[in-house]
A = this chain, B = another copy of it.
Amino acid sequence: MSELTAIFADFYGAKSLVAPLNESIQYSIKAGGKRIRPILLLETLQGFGIDILEEHLKVAATVELIHTSSLIHDDLPAMDNDDFRRGKPTNHKIFGEAQAILAGDALLLDPYLLLANVALAPSIVVSLVKELALASGSYGMVAGQVLDMAGENQALTFAQLKQIHALKTGKMLTFPFVAAGIIAEQSDEVISQLRHLGETVGQAFQIRDDILDVTATFAEIGKTPGKDEVADKSTYVKLLGLAGAKAELAENLDSAENILQKISEKATFTSENVLKQIERLRID
């Protein structure tokens, strides 16, 4: 995603910005990651027959910035206390806790400046602002993180676990699909299906994360594996067993593909590239 990298470099390369803040932000942005949220947004937009312009890249960038903030804050000593992320020392390990808190704060706020400056119809921008705030704040990611913390060292039910991840991971994965639908000016019905698709992919994403925490190496996931076990965290693997979690993942991805099929029936939509992204989440 070199186009996305250019958007980040452009925004955080502004000379008028404060250097130490910028440096710590750029460190975490450049640490990379799969950029799955922006990729899903752009692939979905293209599926609706829209050519990708700089405006769309900016919208795609916003969800990645907020996601990056959540990683910086989750890694803090007061939270998950992680030393490595994406194979590199975590933000606070390099820049200190205070700077990491502030870098995370800026990464929650700056996306709204990016959104407010995109050359799309104001009514579309307002809808995007609303969706991003719903996905990230007290109705989304942050609320999920609070429930996740509250659930530590507790035996959660499958329903409780699903609720936590629907908020913590799911909402931020609905944004790419719903935002694409808003930009492509799709009907409420299609947008509702896109939201359902995002929720389903979100669940799959979390189940996959829980499986990889058990089966993958540091090199494969760029962070210390086995942390869930050590922290005695409720995970899909713990609740369903490894085989059960794998079956649950497969079921979620099948559902996602079914929803994608339904969207193709309701709208002028080429699902091929989004399907490829979903297929990549499969674990044999």
Question: A residues near B, CB below 8 A?
Answer: 12, 16-18, 20-22, 25, 66, 69, 73, 76, 78-79, 96-99, 101-102, 104-106, 108-113, 115-117, 121-123, 125-127, 129-130, 132-134, 136-139, 142-143, 145-147, 149-150, 167
CA distance A66 to B79 in the complex (A): 22
Query: How far does the Cβ of A31 sit from chain B's closest Cβ, in whole Å?
Result: 18
Contacts of A143 in B (CB 8 A): 17-18, 21, 106
A18 touches B138 (CB 8 A): yes
Say which residue of B97, B122, B138, B150 sits within 8 Å of A22 (CB atoms): B138
B97 touches A78 (CB 8 A): yes
Say which residue of B69, B111, B115, B139 sits within 8 Å of A16 (CB atoms): B139
Query: How far does the Cβ of A164 sit from chain B's closest Cβ, in whole Å?
Result: 10
A138 touches B106 (CB 8 A): yes
Jot down 26 A-B pairs with beta carbons below 8 A, ordered by A. A17-B138, A18-B138, A18-B143, A18-B147, A18-B167, A21-B138, A76-B98, A78-B101, A99-B146, A101-B101, A102-B142, A102-B146, A104-B105, A105-B105, A106-B137, A106-B138, A106-B143, A109-B133, A110-B133, A110-B138, A112-B112, A112-B133, A116-B127, A117-B130, A122-B122, A125-B129
Contacts of A117 in B (CB 8 A): 130
Contacts of A132 in B (CB 8 A): 112
Closest partner residue, chain B, to A146 (CB atom): B21
CA distance A109 to B17 in the complex (A): 21
CA distance A132 to B115 in the complex (A): 12
B109 touches A136 (CB 8 A): yes
Query: How far does the Cβ of A87 sit from chain B's closest Cβ, in whole Å?
Result: 24
Beyond the given A113-B134, A126-B129, could you list 15 further A-B residue pairs with CB under 8 A, ordered by the A residue number? A18-B147, A18-B167, A21-B142, A25-B138, A69-B105, A73-B105, A76-B101, A102-B145, A106-B137, A109-B138, A110-B138, A112-B132, A113-B137, A116-B133, A122-B125
Say which residue of B17, B105, B150 sits within 8 Å of A108 (CB atoms): B105
Contacts of A102 in B (CB 8 A): 73, 142, 145-146, 149
Closest partner residue, chain B, to A104 (CB atom): B105
CA distance A149 to B100 in the complex (A): 12
B113 touches A133 (CB 8 A): yes
Contacts of A129 in B (CB 8 A): 112, 115-116, 125-126, 129
